[in-house]
Amino acid sequence: MTHERSPFAPDPATRPDMTDILRGRRMRRNRRADWSRRLVRETTLTVDDLIWPLFLIDGDKLRQPVEAMPGVERLSVDEAVRDAEKAAKLGIPAIALFPYTQPERRDETGSEALNPDNLVCATARAIKKEVPNLGIIIDVALDPYTSHGHDGILHGETIVNDESVEQLILQALIEAEAGADVIAPSDMMDGRIGAIRQALDAKGFTDVQIMSYAAKYASCFYGPFRDAVGTSKTLIGDKRTYQMDPANGDEALREAELDIDEGADMIMVKPGLPYLDILWRLKQAFAVPTYAYQTSGEYAMIRAAEQNGWIDGERAMMESLASFKRAGADGVLTYFAPFVAERLKR
Ligand code: PBG
């Protein structure tokens, strides 16, 4: 037989004594059957972990596909109410609203953000009326409203911090007035959490929560989102003077510490999967409600690979979300939310 001539032919002298080596330490025992795997499972993804981001657009009975995000659409107010009803029916605790602002309503300072009847505010009011028990989260940042696509106010080539914060405070108040349960500052200006908390309290919105984008990185994974809200073509330069350097981890601890100190009720890490180490560190360090944002780019990658037949999309969805739970997340903002909720029901 040929294998006898092989240098790797079985040799009784080198046959391992597995009983001796393992001495009872067989990790596979717990994995051998489904009931046992369920019994030793450390984390579980439930519908209570999901926050569903919705894109909004002017119009009536309009559902407009977002090209790079198969399965995601921009919704007119009436259709957003419909999806809010769907969210409630599925048991999803909260939605997050993001507007596509018509180009003619964008300007240098993002003044449309201060229009009490702007798209997010109108939608929040409509949803609160029809689905009062669904949590509504609204971003605070000027990028959907500025002609240059930045989250703050631009003077020359500089995003000016303190003046931007003044504008963000007014935006937060208008959103709270419209019915936002949670204000989510995503702008990364310094001091905005404290300033917004103070203003909300002064105006009687003491119960409005703040979810801070505490560690938000200057990332390429926001690409499809910027298409969805129409800022990818308008954005001048990049956001590296206010969003974090992807190379940094300790800095995220400082950012989160400041936001918690200034009054954040919940903190978020964004993007998600490439920053699981940050999520883990923040949850370990502060033990406050901590969320991950599975960004548009992460969603697009899974969908694209699925459409090419290169990956099992549904399993990738479930596995990626399980990893957030394992890393310590209390919940995840994800465009997969309705798909996961339906999957969990089966
Ligand atoms: C706005 C904002 C962005 C996202 C959430 N809020 C984009 C950005 O900062 O450029 C990204 C969400 C996603 O990619 O899914 N400041």
Report the C-alpha gap between 106 and 52 in whole angstroms.
Answer: 26
**Residues with catalytic roles:** 216, 270
b/e burial code for range 287-302 (CB count within 10 A of at least 16 → b): ebbbbbbbbbbbbbbb
How many angstroms does the Cα of residue 25 sit away from the middle of ligand 1? Answer: 47
How many angstroms does the Cα of residue 110 sit away from the middle of ligand 1? Answer: 16
Per the listing, tokens 């926001």 go with: 222
Residue 263: helix, strand or coil by DSSP? coil
Atom nearest to 224 CA in ligand 1: 14
Report the C-alpha gap between 30 and 36 in whole angstroms.
Answer: 6
Nearest to 68 by CA among 304, 321, 314, 231: 304
Split the chain (346 residues) into runs of 10 and give each run's mean pLDDT. Answer: 66 89 94 98 98 98 97 98 98 98 96 98 98 98 96 95 98 98 98 98 98 98 95 89 98 98 98 98 98 98 98 98 98 98 96
pTM above 0.75, yes or no: yes
pLDDT the model gives residue 4: 58
pLDDT the model gives residue 13: 86
Does residue 139's CB lie within 6 angstroms of at least one atom of ligand 1? Answer: yes
Does residue 222's CB lie within 6 angstroms of at least one atom of ligand 1? Answer: yes
